[in-house]
Amino acid sequence: MRQDCKHYQSRSYPSGDTMRKCGLDLAPEAPWSCPADCQKYERRLADVNWRHGSLVSPPTPSAPASVGDDPSVAALLDSAEDIINAVGDDIRSEVEAEQAARQQKKRWFWPF
């Protein structure tokens, strides 16, 4: 991926794993490659906080042989995202109902 892109995001976890992605969700084969002709590519002008320490993110693992050759990868990821988005509203309403019920239990002594 283009680490100099404004939309590139990276995060390291205590386990040593590192997440790399496009903030606009335009790189279906992340973390190995961005689209060659990405219309949203913008060169990063400055990093947040303007400080660069000695820590360096670990190198990106080698790309599988199928990266760039198989258009079904993007289709698979899009269908998985559609599944998550389809149940998102249901999950949100369940969580909000649970939170409202908890709030009611806390205020059982207050009439309004």
Burial call 72-102: b when 16+ CB within 10 Å, e when fewer: eeeeeeeeeeeeeeeeeeeeeeeeeeeeeee
More confident: 68 or 11: 11
pLDDT band at 56 (very low <50, low <70, confident <90, very high): low
Residue type, 33: S
pTM here is 0.49
Task: Fill in the DSSP letter of residue 33.
Answer: B
User: What is the helix (H) or strand (E) element at residue 99, kind and residue range?
Assistant: helix 72-106
Q: Check if the beta carbon of residue 7 is closer than 8 Å to that of residue 46.
A: no
More confident: 51 or 101: 101
Delimit the domains of the chain by residue range.
Answer: 1-67, 71-112
What's the alpha-carbon Rg for the chain, to the nearest Å? 21
Give pLDDT tens digits for 57-108: 667 777 777 666 677 777 888 888 899 889 988 999 999 999 988 887 766 5
In the predicted model, is pLDDT for residue 45 greater than 80? no
Query: Which pLDDT value is given to residue 96?
Result: 94
Q: How many residues does the chain have?
A: 112
User: Positive or negative, the Cα torsion across 10, 13, 19, 25?
Assistant: negative
Query: Which pLDDT value is given to residue 97?
Result: 93
Q: Hey, what are 110's tokens?
A: 């207050």
Region 34-44: mean pLDDT is 84
Query: Which pLDDT value is given to residue 94?
Result: 94
